[in-house]
Amino acid sequence: MPSVCDRALLVSVLGASLALAPRDARAQETVDPSYGRIEGDLALVVGAGTTVVPSGPRAEGELRLRYLETAGVFAAYEDGPLFGGSAEPQRVLVSGLEVRPLFLYRWLQGHETRRAWLDLTLDSLGFEIAATWSQPAGGSFASQPGLQAGLGLEVPILPQASGPWIGLHGGLRWSDASLASGTTSGADDRSVFLAITLSWHQLVATHLVDVGDRAPR
């Protein structure tokens, strides 16, 4: 027969187990798998860095607006060269669209890993298409139009949506002349690029998603 002390010890262990189990379950339920991405419907991204092209790097600044962290518009300006060299063309203005299809699908389907850095990085994968306006050597600003297509990936420094991020955006650029003729005669007509930026992401609640549901006053 168990002694009184043994019974008391058993009751204490069972009581502690029952008390801790709901607490652990609640702790798991309180993890936000969106990491703050649904706290606002519009994301404002301001960044700066460098764009690396075959002829040399250029300084770069960018502005992005994303709706529900899924689709948006962006603009970037590049000016060079940095550290000497030609960085041909010397200046480039970029404006376009980006689509990031993974976030809403993974979040709504419950496919988040609940590892903030991994989920935020995976969901940042995006496709970009943009128009470019370049300034070749001896030419005027934005005198050479073109097309840009690429991919983007961003890595958060903090485990949350709002805050500092490191961005990688790369792809191909074609001049308008090369697209029309199908031939290239130099770096201005077709080139690869890689933009490396340090940016700040800020979620803003604009209520665009529920504007049609708001009752008139």
Compute the chain's Rg from CA coordinates: 25
**Pair (109, 17) in one structural domain:** no
Give me the average pLDDT of each 10-residue run along the chain (217 residues): 50 45 46 89 97 91 97 95 77 96 94 94 98 86 91 97 98 89 70 96 86 52
Q: How far apart are CA 84 and CA 53, in angstroms?
A: 13
**Pair (117, 17) in one structural domain:** no
SS3 166: strand
In-domain check, residue 87: yes
Kindly report, residue by residue over 85-116, the tens digit of the pLDDT. 777 888 999 999 999 999 999 999 999 999 99
**Pair (172, 65) in one structural domain:** yes
Residue 22's pLDDT is what?
Answer: 46
Q: Which amino acid is at 172?
A: L
Element (H, E) at 94: strand 91-99
Torsion angles phi and psi, residue 5, rounded to 5: -65, -40
**Pair (155, 207) in one structural domain:** yes
In-domain check, residue 204: yes
**Domain of 149, in residue numbers:** 42-213
**Pair (12, 50) in one structural domain:** no
Kindly report, residue by residue over 183-208, the tens digit of the pLDDT. 666 666 789 999 999 999 999 999 87
In-domain check, residue 48: yes
Closest CA to 42 of 69, 2, 74, 10: 69
pTM: 0.80
**Pair (24, 104) in one structural domain:** no
Q: How far apart are CA 204 and CA 41, in angstroms?
A: 6
In-domain check, residue 18: yes
Residue 171, domain CATH: 2.40.160.20
Report the domain count for the chain: 2
**Pair (127, 52) in one structural domain:** yes
Residue 55's pLDDT is what?
Answer: 84
Q: How far apart are CA 180 and CA 101, in angstroms?
A: 31
**Pair (92, 192) in one structural domain:** yes
**Pair (109, 50) in one structural domain:** yes
Residue 136's pLDDT is what?
Answer: 80
Q: How far apart are CA 29 and CA 41, in angstroms?
A: 23
In-domain check, residue 35: no
**Pair (52, 141) in one structural domain:** yes
In-domain check, residue 36: no
Residue 21's pLDDT is what?
Answer: 44
Residue pointed to by tokens 């298409």? 129
In-domain check, residue 50: yes
In-domain check, residue 37: no
Residue 24's pLDDT is what?
Answer: 43
Torsion angles phi and psi, residue 124, rounded to 5: -80, -10
**Pair (22, 47) in one structural domain:** no
**Pair (2, 65) in one structural domain:** no
